[in-house]
Structure 1
Amino acid sequence: MPGPLSQLKVLDFSTLLPGPYATMLLADMGADVLRVEAPDRLDLTRVMPPLEDGVSTAHTFLNRGKRSLSLDLKKEGSADVIKRLVKEHDVVIEQFRPGVMDRLGIGYDTLKAINPDLIYCAITGYGQTGPYKDRAGHDINYLSLAGVSSHCGRKESGPPPMGIQIADVAGGSHHAVMGVLAAVIHRQQTGEGQYIDISMTDAAFALNGMAGAAALAGGQEQKQESSMLNGGTFYDYYQTSDDRWISVGSLEPQFSGRLCDALDIPEMKSFALSQNPEHQQTIREALKAAFAQKTLKQWEEVFAGLDACVEPVLTITEAADHPQMKARDMVIEVAKGDGGFQKQIGHPIKFSATPCETHYAGRRLGADNGDL
């Protein structure tokens, strides 16, 4: 069966991570995605190390399942190419700063006049309105301005530089996909297309969730290491004797009880349930001392058959080899242009009737120019 979005055609003008990740998700779900790239200003993910067979692994992952059109949008006649293509496409996704597409002659109003049903999604750091709309930024800036960084990390060391791009992906990519699919449903019901304005900072601000709800309703700002989930309790990471780490999320009584028994510190059970900061510090020190007595592998063996919300901190390659990831098909083999295959992260959504399928890794620049 084709993917659930097999009838959707997407024109992708995005670069780097947020937009390409979003259109990759759409392509995995069956959408026909045509990526438009400048021939003289390569997307950095095409040349970003590490490389496999001379091609960036970031590019082959983020652009899998997409066709590639090499086109200089500043050149005379390029706008006409886009105007012709937009007649047969459902969605446009772009990631330029506000006003750039208009200056190129292919902004929303222009394309909507050609295709009134068009769904047009613009992803930017700060959105299409507001005093920051033309300001440059990156993931770390969006998280900072959105208040997320203020309650993450340690008091002594401050906010952590994350190994993943939270605002880019959880903010920009995922919200863009949700917005596009909601607009598709709206169009099916009304026949009306629309413009979608995605701000990665807006989306990051919305990720504050429970901490944000508390701060706005009661003025209770969450500080670093002050709440149940951000280091204010024994819900935390602990170092093992071989300098690895293990995560403890044993908040509920049945889980904390099993944790304390497994670590041979039954006297800590009442401390685990206490909201007294001193009690929490006491059990944290007890856990720190206990976990330092064995290696990560030894602790994995201890908790393998114990339902206590305790899991090892794995590397990406270790996670890929974990039985749970294998059972969920979270590592797949994707065909490369040279006839070989590349291991990649699989699609996280599982459909019973229309499973996702990836036919090929990211293609060379302009690989599909001759077909358009």
Structure 2
Amino acid sequence: MNRLEPLRKVISDIKALNGIKILNFSTHIAGSYTSMLMADMGAEIIRIYLPYQSESNIDGIDTNNQIWEQWNRGQRSLELDYTQKTGFNALKELIKSSDVIIEDWVPSKAKSLHMDFETIQGINSNLLYCAMPPFGESGPLSDIPADDGVVSTIAGIHGDQGGKGFPPMYVKIPFVSYGTAFLASFAITTALFERESSNMGQKIEVPLYFGAIGMRPQYTIVTNNDSSLYSQSTAITSNSHQIRNPVYGLYECSDGWIFVAAGNEIFWEKFCSAIKIPELTQDKRFFGAPWNIPSENQGTLHEIIKPILKSKNKAYWLKELSDADVPSAPASDRSEFLTHPQVIHNEILVENNNPQIDATHQFGIPIKMSKTPGEIGKPTDIKSKDTWDILRSLKFTKGQLSEMAANKIIPTENAT
């Protein structure tokens, strides 16, 4: 055996968040995804369930618990009725040895459970408390329960997707939750770094509402005469960019779709040459192209381009556009993306057999770190799986655990 192999094994076992314990009380996408990202980097995640709590509550988009299983990989599970005094006392012992709490309750529910920041600070002043409510910890909407779809709608995501003056368009991908998870992961790691110098915990507030803004900051630009780029009405409803640029978007060819990205004046001129109509650059109707074409002429340009691109197949236009140095790409579907050589090379899709959901592969580590690369965890198990082991580690005796089980505060040992 190569004498460097043991050293490589030690290095591979070092993860950036080793030694960090996170208690996950969340029930929606954002908190679950945040926990998965932290677990992949080595954090110990304990997902805590109430006995009557559903194992899956992924905002109406889950199928056969497949998404839930992925976002809870690498996490241990504890079923505990902390609404009862004995259960809450047990939870307090776990909080004392933890670094982070993640929750997505509305503020009034956190208080009713005695799980608000002030109460938790009294138990462990070094703990970081990450609150991920729908709209915020205060304000007129703060106590309104809502999931990704509701927050997305109120934040204008569905309304803006259709274009100004047109009906709203449902956005299938839960961008708000993903954006909130990225912000929360960033905030927690930032707070962990700060705690190294202050030795004090703090409250981290990352509502879904913030995620909605974080995923589209360009829409927050407001000008005196409402002339900002993203306040403009679209003149067309199509798969091209609905804000001023008909040559930045999807176009249909004879055998499928491609994306054309003529995003500046140079690419606009090259695009016109590639489709063999260079005179378009001199057409007064399209002065200001690609982004500042008068709104009344955007549809006209789109209708000129559509039949030209549809007359040939994808391969033809992708070669013509590449030869002309115009960015473009074929519009891939899910199966084409997942089998693409670049996806395989980057290990975006990795093997993780999970017979519970009939899955063999899933999303890998989305970042690359040379020294602490991270590793996806094992599939999650039933919600009571680790209950007795976790409580034993807190020095609870078998007699105490049996009594809690008899009082339905935790499941019986054979149920785990």
Equivalence for 2:396: none
Distance 2:19 2:325 in 1: 44
Change (3 A) 1:360 1:156: same
Q: Are residue 199 (structure 1) and residue 211 (structure 2) matched?
A: no
- Residues 1:347 and 1:157: Cα distance change in structure 2 (over 3 Å): farther
Other-structure match for 1:179: 187
Q: Distance in 2 between matches of 1:194 and 1:203?
A: 20
Q: Which residue of 1 aligns with 2:126?
A: 117
Q: How many residues align?
A: 365
Greater Rg over alpha carbons, structure: 2
Give the one of 294, 297, 305 matched to 1:287: 305
Change in CA separation of 1:62 and 1:289 when aligned onto 2, cut-off 3 Å: same
Cross-structure match for 2:376: 358
Write out aligned runs for 1:56-205 (5 A): 56-155=65-164, 157-170=166-179, 172-205=180-213
- Report the secondary structure of 1:11's partner residue: strand
Partner of 2:203: helix, strand, or coil?
strand
Query: Retained in 2: the 8 A contact 1:93–1:121?
Result: yes
SS in 1 for 2:168: coil
Which amino acid in the other structure matches residue 168 of structure 1? Answer: S
1:261 to 273, 287, 290: 273
Match of 1:34? 46
CA drift of 1:134 comes to 0.9
Structure 2 alignment gaps of length 5 or more: 1-11, 391-416
Which residue identity lines up with residue 196 of structure 1 in the other structure? I
> What is the aligned-residue identity percentage?
27
Alignment-derived partner of residue 293 in structure 2: 276
Relative to structure 1, is the Cα distance of residues 301 and 324 closer, same or farther in structure 2, using a 3 angstrom cutoff?
farther
CA shift in 2, pair 1:174/1:133, >3 Å? same
Give me the whole-angstrom Cα distance separating, in 2, the residues matched to 1:217 and 1:206.
23
Contact residue 135 and residue 141 of structure 2 kept, 8 A: yes
Of 315-324 and 112-121, the range deviating more from structure 2: 315-324
**Partner Cα distance (1:63, 1:122) in 2:** 18
Distance 1:211 1:102 in 2: 34
Q: Which amino acid aligns with 2:44?
A: D
Structure-1 residue corresponding to 2:30: 18
Q: 2:330 aligns with which of 312, 317, 329?
A: 312
| Secondary structure, aligned partner of 2:377 | coil
**118-127 vs 175-184, which deviates more?**
175-184
The letter of the residue matching 1:118 is L
Q: TM-score, normalised by structure 2?
A: 0.78
1:5-58 CA distances to partner (integer Å, 9 max, x unpaired)?
11211000001211001111111111111111233221335897533xxxx211
Counterpart of 1:211 in structure 2 is: 219
Q: Is the 8 A contact 1:20 1:63 kept in 2?
A: yes
Whether 1:343 aligns to 2:361 is yes
Contact 1:151 1:230 in 2 (8 A): no
Q: Is the 8 A contact 2:25 2:48 kept in 1?
A: yes
Pick closer, same or farther for the CA change 1:177–1:255 going to 2, 3 Å.
same
TM-score by length of 1: 0.87
Cα drift, residue 63 of structure 1:
0.6
Q: Once the two structures are superposed, what CA deviation does each residue of 1:124-158 show, in whole Å capped at 9, x if it has no partner? A: 11111001111132334323433444533235643
1: CA distance, partners of 2:197 / 2:100: 16
Distance 1:338 1:58, change over 3 A: closer
Q: Is the 8 A contact 1:337 1:361 kept in 2?
A: no
* Deviation, structure 1 residue 250: 1.5
Sort the Cα spacing of 1:302 and 1:356 in 2 relative to 1 into closer, same or farther, 3 A: farther
